[in-house]
Amino acid sequence: MSALLEAIELHTFYGASHVLHGVTFSIEPGQTVTLMGRNGMGKTTTIRSVLGLTPPRSGEVRVNGKPVTGWPAHRIAAEGIALVPEGRGIFPSLSVRENLLVAQRPGRWTEERVLALFPRLRDRLAHLGSQLSGGEQQMLSIARALLTNPRLVILDGATEGLAPLIRQEIWAAVRRLRDEGMAALVVDKEVKTLLALGDRHLILLKGRVVFSGDTAAFRARAEENLGLLRA
Ligand X SMILES: Nc1ncnc2c1ncn2[C@@H]1O[C@H](COP(=O)(O)OP(=O)(O)OP(=O)(O)O)[C@@H](O)[C@H]1O
Query: One-letter amino acid identity for 103?
Result: A
Measured from the CB atom, the residue of 38 and 151 that comes closer to ligand X is 38
CB of 107 to ligand X, least distance (A): 29
| Residue 23 CB-density burial (10 A; 0-12 exposed, 13-18 middle, 19+ buried) | buried
Show the binding pattern over residues 19-38: x = contacts ligand X (CB under 6 A), - = does not.
x-----------------x-
Binding part of the chain for Mg ion, among 44-52, 53-61, 100-108, 116-124 by CB under 5 A, reads 44-52
Q: Which is nearer to ligand X, 17 or 230 (CB)?
A: 17
Q: Which does 89 bind (CB under 5 to 8 A by kind): Mg ion, ligand X, none?
A: none
Q: Please tell me whether residue 17 binds ligand X under the rule CB under 6 A.
A: yes
- Could you tell me if 175 and 197 are in contact, meaning their C-beta atoms sit under 8 angstroms apart? yes
Q: In the set 4, 6, 42, 55, which binds ligand X (CB under 6 A)?
A: 42
Residue 45 binds ligand X (CB under 6 A): yes
| 44 binding Mg ion? (CB under 5 A) | yes
Q: Which stretch binds ligand X (CB under 6 A): 12-20, 56-64, 67-75, 217-225?
A: 12-20
C-beta of residue 154 within 8 angstroms of C-beta of residue 82: yes
Residue 160, contacted partner among ligand X, Mg ion, none, CB below 5-8 A by kind: none
Instruction: Confirm or reject binding of residue 162 to ligand X (CB under 6 A).
Output: no
| 3-state helix/strand/coil string of the chain | CCCCEEEEEEEEEECCEEEEEEEEEEECCCCEEEEECCCCCCHHHHHHHHHCCCCCCEEEEEECCEECCCCCHHHHHHCCEEEECCCCCCCCCCEHHHHHHHHCCCCCCCHHHHHHHCHHHHCCCCCEHHHCCHHHHHHHHHHHHHHCCCCEEEEECCCCCCCHHHHHHHHHHHHHHHHCCCEEEEECCCHHHHHHHCCEEEEEECCEEEEEEEHHHHHHCHHHHHHHHCC
Q: Does 201 bind ligand X (CB under 6 A)?
A: no
Question: Minimum distance from CB of 40 to ligand X (Å)?
Answer: 4
The binding track of 72-91 with respect to ligand X, each residue x by CB under 6 A or -, is --------------x-----
Is 40 a residue that touches ligand X (CB under 6 A)? yes
In the bound state with Mg ion, the residue whose beta carbon lies nearer, of 43 and 178, is 43
Q: What does the binding site for ligand X look like in residue numbers (CB under 6 A)?
A: 14, 17, 19, 37, 39-45, 86
Q: What does the binding site for Mg ion look like in residue numbers (CB under 5 A)?
A: 43-44
